[in-house]
């Protein structure tokens, strides 16, 4: 019996070892062995020479890349949940299916959001840094390193999809009041469990919150959702957390709001022009800035690889991959 030819799969970044090994067994893999993003030239070449391309958030999959795939590229199996770096319209027009890896990174991303929600008001990074630099010589004092508590405070979640809900569940156990903004309210089963209050008007919600957490996808509608005007509506003591996408915020406006103390603090895992970070953000004690680590656990990254392989296998076997991302439709579970 003639053996089946293996599907040509291009992997743009170094992936977790179990994912890499399994993919090498299953597919005819073309891999970027370095831990850096492919050059544009190499990305176009990879797209031109495989049936399935596995990009990550660091690859811009625009019309040029999609066209480079010609008649051979059939599936963009993204390693990650967000697909804002992929031109979904062009993919759909060129009959290329797009899949992602939702669910498996929800809990870890929510944990990191919670870590930022704690780190900013409790001054955790500032305290640790101070100690390292020998600033604890005088010892404890009743008025030293005072922060603000989370209990009883209002948390406004922007985007009540999977991650937003997981953040809400965690924040409830810290005694926070849960408020949220979405295009549509979530089901009453979910809002009752989370005791979450729906705000159809984002501006109105922002004005009343102590903390805001951004958990919505980036799209044309949400680009610079948080701009100067909206920031000016937040109470001066409020803290903004972003573990979603940097381009949701006008970063210059954020810097200004923080510098002028219009906003008390920010916890950021993502940036408008990633991997560049506006230098002023790194100089402010009231900002905790992390390098896009939301899903960065061995467990989540391995599960993302597994999910990506399941999508590719379903596709090559002629079935519908479970995590298809349809242009013009929000991903299942993303309500924003
Ligand atoms: C991933 C993320 O690490 O999945 C996402 O959308 O933002 C990250 O947590 C990254 O996208 C991997 O491609």
Cα(247)–Cα(266) distance, rounded to whole angstroms?
A: 15
Active site residues: 245, 274, 292
H or E stretch at 242: strand 239-242
pLDDT at position 329, please? 66
pLDDT at position 78, please? 98
**pLDDT of 334 strictly over 90:** no
CB 309, CB 26: distance < 8 Å? yes
pLDDT at position 333, please? 41
Among the listed ranges 16-25, 198-207, 323-332, which one has the minimum average pLDDT value?
323-332
What confidence tens digit (pLDDT) does each residue in 215-243 have? Answer: 999 999 999 999 999 999 999 999 999 99
Q: Which of 292, 334, 336 to mutate to test ligand 1, by most ligand atoms within 8 A of the CB atom? A: 292
> Which residues lie below 8 Å from residue 317, measured CB to CB, with a gap of 6+?
none
| pLDDT interval class at 2 (50, 70, 90) | low
Residue 212 backbone phi and psi in degrees, to 5: -125, 135
The 8-class DSSP code of residue 195 comes to: T
What's the CA-to-centroid distance between 192 and ligand 1, angstroms? 30
| pLDDT interval class at 24 (50, 70, 90) | very high
Report residue 294 as tokens.
Answer: 């939301």
What confidence tens digit (pLDDT) does each residue in 132-171 have? Answer: 999 999 999 999 999 999 999 999 999 999 999 999 999 9
Tokens 């997981």 identify what position? 166
In a 10 Å sphere around its CB, with 0-12 CB exposed, 13-18 middle and 19+ buried, how is residue 59 labelled? buried
**pLDDT of 272 strictly over 90:** yes
Task: Please list every protein residue whose CB sits less than 6 Å from any atom of ligand 1.
Answer: 56-57, 79-82, 105, 294-295
* CB burial string 198-225: b at 16+ within 10 A, e below: ebeebeebbeebbbbbbbbbbbeebeeb
CB 186, CB 200: distance < 8 Å? no
Q: What is the DSSP string of 210-221?
A: SEEEE-----TT
- Percent of the chain surpassing pLDDT 70: 97
| pLDDT interval class at 332 (50, 70, 90) | very low
Residue 125 backbone phi and psi in degrees, to 5: -70, -40
pLDDT at position 3, please? 63
Report residue 177 as tokens.
Answer: 């009041």
**pLDDT of 180 strictly over 80:** yes
| pLDDT interval class at 4 (50, 70, 90) | confident
What confidence tens digit (pLDDT) does each residue in 52-86 have? Answer: 999 999 999 999 999 999 999 999 999 999 999 99
Domains of the chain, each with CATH number or no CATH: 8-104+297-316 (3.40.50.720), 106-138+145-289 (3.40.50.720)
| pLDDT interval class at 335 (50, 70, 90) | very low
Instruction: Please tell me the residue having the least CA distance from ligand 1 atom 9.
Output: 295
**pLDDT of 262 strictly over 90:** yes
pLDDT at position 125, please? 97
pLDDT at position 223, please? 97
Tokens 């759909």 identify what position? 92
The atom number, within ligand 1, closest to the CA of 100 reads 4
| pLDDT interval class at 328 (50, 70, 90) | confident
User: Could you tell me the pTM of the whole model?
Assistant: 0.94
The atom number, within ligand 1, closest to the CA of 294 reads 9
């Amino acid at each position: 019996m003639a053996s089946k030819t293996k599907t040509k799969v291009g992997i743009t970044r170094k992936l977790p070892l179990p994912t890499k090994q399994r993919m090498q067994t299953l597919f005819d893999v073309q891999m970027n062995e370095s831990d850096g993003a492919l050059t544009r030239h190499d990305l176009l070449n990879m797209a031109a020479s495989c049936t399935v391309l596995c990009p990550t958030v660091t690859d811009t999959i625009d019309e040029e890349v999609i066209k480079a795939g010609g008649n051979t590229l059939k599936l963009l199996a993204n390693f990650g949940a967000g697909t804002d770096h992929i031109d979904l319209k062009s993919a759909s027009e060129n009959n290329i299916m797009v899949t992602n890896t939702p669910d498996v990174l929800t809990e870890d991303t929510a944990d990191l959001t919670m870590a930022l929600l704690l780190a900013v008001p409790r001054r955790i990074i500032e305290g640790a840094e101070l100690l390292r630099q020998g600033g604890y010589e005088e010892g404890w004092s009743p008025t030293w390193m005072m922060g603000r508590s989370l209990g009883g405070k209002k948390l406004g979640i922007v985007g009540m999809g999977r991650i937003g809900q997981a953040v809400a569940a965690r924040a409830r156990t810290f005694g926070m009041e849960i408020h949220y903004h979405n295009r549509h309210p979530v089901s009453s089963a979910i809002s009752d469990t989370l005791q979450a209050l729906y705000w159809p008007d984002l501006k109105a919600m922002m004005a009343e919150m102590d903390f805001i957490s951004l958990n919505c996808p980036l799209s044309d509608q949400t680009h610079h959702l948080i701009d100067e005007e909206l920031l000016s509506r937040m109470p001066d003591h409020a803290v903004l957390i972003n573990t979603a996408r940097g381009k949701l915020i006008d970063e210059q406006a954020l810097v200004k709001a923080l510098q002028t103390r219009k906003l008390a603090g920010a916890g950021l895992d993502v940036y408008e022009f990633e991997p560049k970070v506006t230098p002023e953000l790194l100089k402010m004690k009231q900002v905790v800035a992390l390098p896009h680590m939301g899903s960065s656990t061995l467990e989540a990254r391995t599960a993302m690889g597994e999910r990506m392989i399941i999508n590719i296998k379903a596709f090559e076997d002629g079935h519908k991959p479970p995590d298809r991302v349809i242009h013009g439709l929000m991903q299942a579970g993303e309500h924003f």
